[in-house]
Amino acid sequence: MNKKNRHVGIVGIGETKFSSHWEDVNQPEMIHEAVRAALDDASMTMDDIDCVVHGNMELFEMVHQPDLWHTLGTGAAGRDSFRLTTGGTTGGTLVAAADNLIASGMYDTVLAVGFEKLQEGHTTGGITNMADPLWARKLQSGALTDSAAVKAISEFGEDRARRAAMTYRIIMDKHACLNPNSHRAFGLDWDQMEDLMENSPPLIGDLRLIHMFSQSDGACVMIFASEEKARKITRNPVWIRDHVTVHREETLNLCVNYYPNETTHRFAAKTLYERNGITDPLNYFDVFEMYDPSAWWGADWIRDFFLLEGDEHLKLIEDKEIMLDGSMPINPSGGVLAANPIGATAMVRVAQAARQIRGDAGPHKIQRDVDHAIASSFGGTMWTILFMLEKELNF
């Protein structure tokens, strides 16, 4: 494990409310709301920011190099600036980039901007456009797939798998209803299980509308600082202990047993825990903010991220241990099912995990001390970024 040159703290967080339609603001205006909120949160001004890092996906809104126009709202003019983009993982890549840029000593403070205004484009059209135009585009259905459902049903049977996915979905909605920034919060309850499993409109196979993320508008901004600066800026910085990015080529996985023959989630989790000496992640971490694009995926991925076996992940869901007051709270924010402004989504996971550590998450705050958190990003062709956040600087 390489040792970081210096520690990096999260000192400011700002989110817009997430919505299906932000029609009263344009892109830079919407971003500016989150920038303002993050600066206020950190008691900083733009004069205190060395570098602005920006990201989203160009083909969702069809703006080429949108960071150029967005300087109107990001405050990047007169400062250093980078633009990075990696699909759904973009928001996580921006956090990883801020971590690297500050640890390098090149910058003391970095403001990262993740945004998407999906109402201004066509989300599934945009995602479908990632497929190879010669070989795969006619087969592509964007993020809509029931592969996770097929897998879970074949392993655990129709009834148990479907109930687990719907239980996960209702838990996420209960969390979303507490989070004032949620785009979708329906007020679902347990007596609706059967009805939703039967009657929610099917999208593909066992993937139904209720299982799937929405298209949202919104922005998330985070401010990061070197250890020395972070301690001056705030009494409670949240420390980024480590991050790992794992991408995967799309079709090699069709080859049986091709290296390393496990999901990027599990690979990333193994790598990160090994590097940091975490032997029992389920006990070590106090909260997990997961990038869960659908209830089927979210339910399935718990197993990989905590390196579980068999049906351990289903038991966590069935016993409601992933709820706010459970043994391993997952997505107190409501997760991606509550809001998905894609370029911001992965950053929101880190931001929400950091808020839980700070203890100021709002109505969806976990009612006990949160010292250790993980946050994941998902995108591309099953890509993962995984972050470890800490309350104390003792690593």
Partner 1 sequence: MTRKVAVCAMAQINNQSDYRHLRYQGMLMDCFESIIHETHVTFDMEKGIRNVVTCSDDVFDARTISDEAITDAVGAHYRGEEKVAQDGISALGYAMACILSGHDDLILVLAHCKESQSESRNMCTNLAFDPFYTRALGMDYLSASGFQARAYMQASGLDDEDLARIVVRSRQNGAKTAYARPNDMVSMDQVLESPMAADPIRRLHQYPVTDWAAGFLLCCEERAHEFTDTPVWLTGFGSGMDHFFLGDRDLVANAPLKHAAARAYAMAGIDDPAAQLDIVELNDAYAYQLPLWAEGAGLAEPCRGKIWMDQGGMDRSCVNLSGGMLNGNPLMLGGLARAAYAVSQLRGEAGENQVESPQRALAHGTTGPAGQHHAVLILEK
Question: Of the two residues 80 and 227, which places its CB atom closer to partner 1 in the complex?
Answer: 80
Q: Are 171 and 239 in contact (CB under 8 A)?
A: no
Q: Does 381 bind partner 1 (CB under 8 A)?
A: yes
Give the whole-angstrom CA distance, residue 369 versus residue 359: 8
Q: Are 1 and 276 in contact (CB under 8 A)?
A: yes
Give the whole-angstrom CA distance, residue 386 versus residue 92: 8
Q: Does 124 bind partner 1 (CB under 8 A)?
A: no
Q: What single DSSP character describes residue 17?
A: P
Q: What single DSSP character describes residue 176?
A: H
Q: Does 65 bind partner 1 (CB under 8 A)?
A: yes
Candidates 179, 145, 113; CA nearest to 300 is 145
Question: Of the two residues 76 and 210, which places its CB atom closer to partner 1 in the complex?
Answer: 76
Residue the block writes with tokens 């969390």? 175
Q: Does 29 bind partner 1 (CB under 8 A)?
A: no
**Out of 59, 307, 308, 328, the residue judged to bind partner 1 by CB under 8 A:** 59
Give the whole-angstrom CA distance, residue 77 versus residue 68: 9
Q: Does 138 bind partner 1 (CB under 8 A)?
A: no
Question: Of the two residues 27 and 179, which places its CB atom closer to partner 1 in the complex?
Answer: 27
Q: Does 126 bind partner 1 (CB under 8 A)?
A: yes
Question: Of the two residues 143 and 207, which places its CB atom closer to partner 1 in the complex?
Answer: 143
Residue the block writes with tokens 């210096």? 6
Q: Does 30 bind partner 1 (CB under 8 A)?
A: no
Residue the block writes with tokens 């089927």? 296
Measured from the CB of residue 57, what is the shortest distance to partner 1 in angstroms?
A: 6
Tokens of 226: 């070197």
Q: Are 374 and 384 in contact (CB under 8 A)?
A: no
Measured from the CB of residue 50, what is the shortest distance to partner 1 in angstroms?
A: 9
Binding mask 180-219 for partner 1 (x = CB under 8 A): ----------------------------------------
Candidates 350, 393, 346; CA nearest to 371 is 393
| Side-chain half-sphere CA neighbours of 233 within 13 A | 28
Binding mask 3-22 for partner 1 (x = CB under 8 A): xxx-----------------
Give the whole-angstrom CA distance, residue 262 versus residue 265: 8
Q: Does 83 bind partner 1 (CB under 8 A)?
A: yes
Q: Binding-site residue total for partner 1 (CB under 8 A)?
A: 68
Q: Which stretch binds partner 1 (CB under 8 A): 93-101, 151-159, 290-298, 309-317?
A: 93-101
Binding residues (CB under 8 A) for partner 1: these are 2-5, 26, 52, 55, 57-60, 62-72, 76-87, 93, 96-97, 99-106, 126-130, 132-133, 244-250, 252, 259-260, 264, 267, 271, 379-381
